[in-house]
Each structure stands twice: as C-alpha cells, then as structure tokens.
Amino acid sequence: MRKLVSIAALVSLLACQDWPEPVIRSVSPSEMRASESTALTLDAELVLPATVDYSKGSLEVDTRVSVRIGTLEVPTLTVSPEGVTTRVPSLLAPGSYDVKVTLGDGRTAVRKGGLTVVEGEWPEGYSIDPIGPQQRLEPFTVTVRATGANAAAFRGNVRLEIGAGASIGPRVSEPFVDGVLTQQVVVDSIQSDVAIRVTDIAGHVATSNTFLLR
C-alpha cells in the first residue's frame, strides 16, 4: 500500500536516503492463549521509505509492512511511524515466539521472544451445518459450530481443507463468535462430489457432508 503526503512534512528526510533500521519497542499483549485469536499492537520506530516527485510536489511513502510471529505470517491491519497492529490466529502451539517486522524496502526488526503463547481451552469438537449443491469458484457460506465443553466461549480459528485435486479459500477461517463460525468460502475441484474438513492445532477434526460442486 502506498500513499501521497505533503513534501513539507518529510523534506528533512530527503537529505539522506540511508533510512534507519526499524525497532520494535514492545508487543502488547505479550501473551496470548493458543485457542484465541488475539489482536496485537507493536510499538515501534518505523521510518518508512519514501521517494519524491518534484513535479507534483509530493512524497510517495511506501507503507507496506509484513509481520511474522515465528514462521507464521499474520495480517497487517494498520501501519504508522509509531507501530503496527495485527491479529494472530489460533494456529500457534504454546511456546515463545520471535516477532519480526519487514518494511517494503526489506529493512527488518526482530523482538526476540516477543510473544508467548500459553495453553488454551479448546472445544471438544466441531460440527458443520449441511451444505447443498454449489457452483465452482462461486462464494458460498459454511457454518461451523464448536461442540462440547468450552464451545460457547470459543473464539479461535480453524484451518479449512478439501480433498486432493481441489482447492478452497481461505485456508484459515475468521475467528469463531460465541462458538459459531459463519465463513464465506470459494471451492474449485476436478471432482463433482466434495467435502470440507476443518481442523485445529489441538487435533480436532470435523468433515462436512459430501456435496455436489457443479
């Protein structure tokens, strides 16, 4: 993502294109449950790279920033010179993870052990509401329900999978809300009869009915 800003605001930075390395001061919260999708704020010093267009009297600031927790890339929600916000899905086993920020020009910052994941409270399983006939590459809604103990409080994510010769998007769900996931998906397959499977990192698996894909 790029945006135009007034040249006056950043003219002093143009005197030197040797941008300083970013620094992550803190990660908040520094701890999350393995079973809960969690919003993170990275308090950081991010001098974003910029190029000047003298004919337009403007600067083009490269606001592309990627964030990794361990080896897991997570979405960048907001970016400013003071930091980044993101959301970490429930795809990390308990443990300590480095937090890494990469700017659009390749400069990086790492906060060693910046996030600790602790044990979560998972449901006993999942059920998937019946799915009727669908069209290839046409979005449709899948409803998944957490079941058993802790079901109503579940706010985590699951992986979405499908059989060989088929593809599904997204591969990681949105967070459950009060134990229920209502997720739009797109499926393509060389087979006409398919089923969707959901899994979590605690080992729970549920499979939908087999439905027709036209």
Final residue belonging to a domain, choices 77, 103, 118 = 118
Total-model pTM: 0.83
pLDDT of 52 strictly over 90 = no
Per-residue confidence band for 54, with pLDDT thresholds at 50, 70 and 90 = confident
Q: Give yes or no: residues 44 and 144 share one domain.
A: no
The number of distinct structural domains making up the chain is 2
Final residue belonging to a domain, choices 118, 146, 177 = 118
| Range of the structural domain that residue 193 is part of | 125-212
Q: Could you report the per-residue pLDDT of 9-38, keeping only the tens digit for each?
A: 444 444 446 789 999 999 999 999 999 999
Q: Could you report the per-residue pLDDT of 85-116, keeping only the tens digit for each?
A: 999 999 999 999 999 999 999 999 999 999 99
- Give pLDDT, residue 31: 98
Domain of 148: which CATH number?
2.60.40.10
Q: Give yes or no: residues 37 and 10 share one domain.
A: yes
Final residue belonging to a domain, choices 100, 118, 136 = 118
Q: Give yes or no: residues 107 and 138 share one domain.
A: no
Q: Give yes or no: residues 99 and 143 share one domain.
A: no
Q: Give yes or no: residues 91 and 75 share one domain.
A: yes
Region 123-142: mean pLDDT is 97
Q: Give yes or no: residues 33 and 96 share one domain.
A: yes
Q: In what order do the strands lie in the sheet with 95-103?
A: 31-33, 108-118, 95-103, 65-69, 72-74
pLDDT of 2 strictly over 50 = no
pLDDT of 5 strictly over 70 = no
Note the Cα 73 to chain centre separation in Å. 7
